[in-house]
């Protein structure tokens, strides 16, 4: 799953140094490094981890796509350029789907963001809560619900058929656009809400004062100011849609996409070169998007906030618009709740489509036969979360507070998985860790590694944000008083950011428990996950039981968020009482 923020952290400062200055600086950095053994040790470990678990797997995907079994063989790329349908069709389908979802998701996200941030619709807290729901549940819950509701024999489909005599098919492109939009618009919403809030209202007010109508102000002032945010949301949604695996495998129908084809090529027939080629085809547009994002969009920033945002007296919308927006939000939220409600209802039915009598059987199954899936998921996510959280802060601390040669490279590489679709990460792990020296397939370690390193960019970004709250003078004075790196980090930095770290962990835990696209490649006999169980049941058309898995997954996530929330508030209140 993806974080709400859009930009990779800045990895470059103006390269205006001369060669000599650069060498001189590097020398100084090296000397300082030699003094602090702890820092040096930590650096070596972090670099080794990033090289092993981020760079090496990705390298293996490239290698396998053109050098399978050690010999140059680009058959699949040749077939791609010759127009072989089994490569061309999923490629263009993925692009088309990504484009459409980028549009619809951004429109829905913008609507939510505008209504909540600018139009002050009533009940905005409820709407925001509903909009975050898809972020803490497995994305393909939406596809499952879509089948229950709108499938060829779905609840709504049947009603429409009985009343109007019309039938449609939700499978394929329409269903995918619908389900991905519902699953991923929150990403656009979170991003755009920030952008819209950051727009200084006095610019809009100035437009009003100069006699512009509200519509004209919106089109001529608000939209252009929000444009970079909108552009970023479009690109991000495009990439997320491209990388989505859960929805297409459930509701794709005849519409093939790259993620699913790569998965089938590898798990279905062990055709690693074909799988790796499809992964590269997936990676190319994704990488292009991030390049566009970094070098084009980031230069067109129109951020208007320089000081404190001015509290607004006049809203950007009149009462009419506000109520229209309220209506639209009610409708969209209704759809989301209906989808979730359907999954909950489905989970309590005996046998979907035949016997809708209510039962607990599906949950009994989940906690008897499926107990292992449940336990493994909770165990692994619970172990990965603190590791990932601390590692994220550690790397953030290194790249923002410390000076050492190769800092920018480390920054870039550790953020790289942000741009790599999950299925590609999974394929890379399968290729990289199936042979000595690091044979991890079939172990818990490989799942933990996927959890930790796929989410690391978000953890680092969160870590960097937390560190901004900590005055650099504090940890510098610890260093000046003779504390080594380990001591400074362990005794000063970590305790200071602990509350924020716990809040970040709730989200991290949620993304571990709900993730599917990377881990589906590395689960094993001994180590299984709930999302994979859900996928298997959908695959076997056992919809009631799949729904029960969905409910349990969401319940686990909500419970984790609740527990960490309590923990954080305890921590803060203790700290408060100490202060007094």
Give the interface with another protein as residue ranges (CB under 8 A).
84-86, 89, 147, 151-153, 169, 171, 252-254, 256, 264, 266-270, 351-355, 365, 369, 372, 375-376, 378-380, 382-383, 385-387, 430, 434, 439, 441-442, 491, 494-495, 498, 502, 505, 524-526, 528, 536, 539-543, 567, 571, 574
Residues 6+ apart with CB under 8 A from 378: 513, 556
User: Residue 357 gets which letter from DSSP?
Assistant: E
Is the CB of 111 or the CB of 377 nearer to another protein? 377
Other Cβ atoms closer than 10 A to 40: 16
- Min dist CB 557 to another protein, Å, is 14
User: CB-wise, 200 or 361, nearer to another protein?
Assistant: 361
3-state class (DSSP) for residue 356: strand
**Residue closer to another protein, measured from CB, 123 or 386:** 386
Q: Which long-range contacts (CB under 8 A, 24 or more apart) does 526-529 make?
A: 526/442, 526/443, 526/444, 527/376, 527/380, 527/442, 527/443, 527/444, 527/447, 528/372, 528/373, 528/376, 528/377, 529/373, 529/376, 529/377, 529/380, 529/447
Contact 217, 172 (CB under 8 A): no
* C-beta of residue 412 within 8 angstroms of C-beta of residue 49: no
Q: How far is the CB of 466 from another protein (least distance, A)?
A: 14
Please state the closest distance from residue 139 (CB atom) to another protein, in A. Answer: 19
Cβ 394 to another protein, closest distance in Å? 14
Least distance to another protein, CB of residue 77, Å: 16
Helix ranges (DSSP H) in 213-354 = 214-217, 223-243, 246-251, 258-263, 269, 272-295, 319-347
Q: How far is the CB of 83 from another protein (least distance, A)?
A: 11
Minimum CB separation of residue 177 from another protein in Å reads 17
Q: Using the minimum distance from each CB to another protein, give the nearer residue, 56 or 86.
A: 86
Instruction: Give Cα separations from 495 to 462, 485, 536, 565 (angstroms).
Output: 16, 15, 42, 17
Nearer to another protein, 23 or 566 (CB): 566
State the minimum distance, in angstroms, from the CB of residue 153 to another protein: 4
Residue with smaller CB distance to another protein, 147 or 449: 147
User: In the complex with another protein, which residue's Cβ is closer, 46 or 378?
Assistant: 378
Cis peptide before 437 (omega within 30 of 0): yes
Q: Which is nearer to another protein, 265 or 289 (CB)?
A: 265
CB of 258 vs another protein, minimal distance in Å: 14
Minimum Å gap between C-beta 117 and another protein is: 34
CA atoms within 13 A on the CB side of 261: 25
Nearest residue (CB) to another protein, 52 versus 542: 542
* Cβ proximity of 273 and 76 under 8 Å: yes
**Which is closer to another protein, CB of 141 or CB of 501?**
501
Query: CA–CA separation, 118 vs 274, rounded Å?
Result: 49
Report in angstroms how near the CB of residue 575 gets to another protein at its nearest. 10
Nearer to another protein, 328 or 387 (CB): 387
Minimal CA–CA distance to 429: which of 407, 413, 445?
445
CA dist., res. 455 & res. 43, Å (int): 20
Radius of gyration of the chain from Cα atoms? 25
Strand, coil or helix: 349: strand
| Residue 354 C-beta: closest distance to another protein, Å | 5
Residues with Cβ < 8 Å from 571, sequence gap 6 or more? 498, 499, 502
- Taken as a whole, the chain contains a residue count of 580
**Residue nearer to another protein on the CB measure, 220 or 439:** 439
d(CA 398, CA 389): 14
Q: Please identify which residue in the block is written with the tokens 């080594």.
A: 484
Distance CA 417, CA 8 (A): 11
């Amino acid at each position: 799953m993806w974080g709400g923020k859009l930009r990779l952290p800045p990895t470059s400062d103006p390269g205006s140094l001369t060669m000599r200055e650069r060498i001189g600086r590097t020398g100084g950095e090296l000397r300082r490094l030699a003094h602090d053994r702890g820092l040096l040790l930590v650096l070596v470990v972090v670099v080794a981890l990033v090289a092993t678990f981020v760079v090496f797997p990705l390298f293996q995907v490239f290698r396998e796509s053109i050098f399978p079994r050690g010999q140059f063989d680009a058959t699949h790329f040749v077939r791609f350029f010759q127009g072989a349908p089994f490569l061309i069709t999923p490629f263009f389908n993925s692009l088309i789907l990504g484009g459409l979802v980028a549009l619809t998701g951004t429109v829905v996200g913008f609507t939510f963001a505008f209504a909540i941030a600018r139009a002050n619709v009533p009940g905005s807290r409820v709407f925001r809560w509903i909009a975050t729901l898809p972020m803490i549940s497995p994305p393909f819950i939406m596809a499952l619900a879509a089948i229950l509701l709108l499938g060829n024999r779905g609840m709504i489909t049947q009603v429409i058929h009985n009343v109007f005599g019309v039938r449609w098919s939700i499978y394929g492109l329409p269903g995918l656009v619908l389900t991905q939009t519902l699953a991923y618009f929150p990403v656009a919403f979170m991003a755009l809400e920030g952008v819209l809030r950051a727009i200084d209202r006095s610019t809009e007010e100035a437009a009003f004062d100069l006699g512009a109508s509200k519509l004209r102000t919106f089109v001529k002032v608000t939209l252009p100011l929000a444009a970079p945010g909108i552009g970023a949301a479009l690109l991000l949604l495009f990439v997320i849609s491209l990388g989505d695996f859960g929805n297409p495998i459930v509701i794709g129908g005849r519409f093939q996409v790259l993620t699913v084809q790569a998965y089938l090529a590898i798990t279905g027939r062990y055709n690693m070169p074909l799988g790796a080629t499809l992964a590269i085809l997936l990676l190319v547009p994704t990488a292009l998007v991030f390049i566009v994002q970094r070098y084009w969009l980031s230069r067109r920033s129109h951020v208007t906030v320089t000081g404190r945002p001015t509290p607004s007296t006049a809203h950007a919308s009149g009462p009419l618009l506000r109520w229209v927006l309220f209506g639209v939000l009610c409708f969209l939220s209704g759809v989301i709740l209906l989808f979730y409600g359907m999954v909950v209802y489905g989970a309590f039915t005996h046998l979907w489509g035949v016997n809708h009598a209510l039962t607990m059987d599906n949950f009994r199954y989940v906690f008897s036969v499926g107990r292992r899936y449940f336990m493994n998921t909770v165990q692994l996510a619970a172990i990965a979360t603190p590791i990932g959280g601390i590692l994220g802060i550690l790397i953030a601390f290194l790249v923002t507070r410390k000076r050492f040669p190769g800092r920018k490279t480390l920054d870039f590489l550790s953020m790289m998985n942000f741009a790599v679709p999950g299925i590609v990460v999974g394929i890379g792990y399968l290729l990289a860790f199936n042979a000595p020296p690091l044979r991890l397939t079939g172990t818990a370690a490989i799942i933990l590694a996927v959890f930790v390193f796929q989410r690391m960019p978000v953890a680092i970004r969160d870590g960097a944000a937390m560190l901004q709250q900590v005055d650099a003078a504090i940890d510098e004075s610890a260093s000046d008083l003779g504390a080594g790196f380990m001591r400074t980090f362990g005794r000063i930095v970590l305790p200071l950011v602990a509350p924020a770290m716990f809040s970040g962990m709730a989200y991290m835990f949620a993304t571990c428990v709900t993730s599917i696209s990377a881990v589906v490649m590395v689960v094993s006999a001994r180590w299984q996950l709930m999302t994979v169980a859900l996928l298997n049941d959908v695959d076997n058309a056992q919809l009631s039981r799949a729904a029960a898995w969905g409910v349990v997954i969401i319940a686990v996530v909500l419970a984790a968020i609740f527990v960490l929330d309590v923990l954080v508030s305890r921590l803060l209140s203790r700290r408060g009482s100490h202060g007094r």
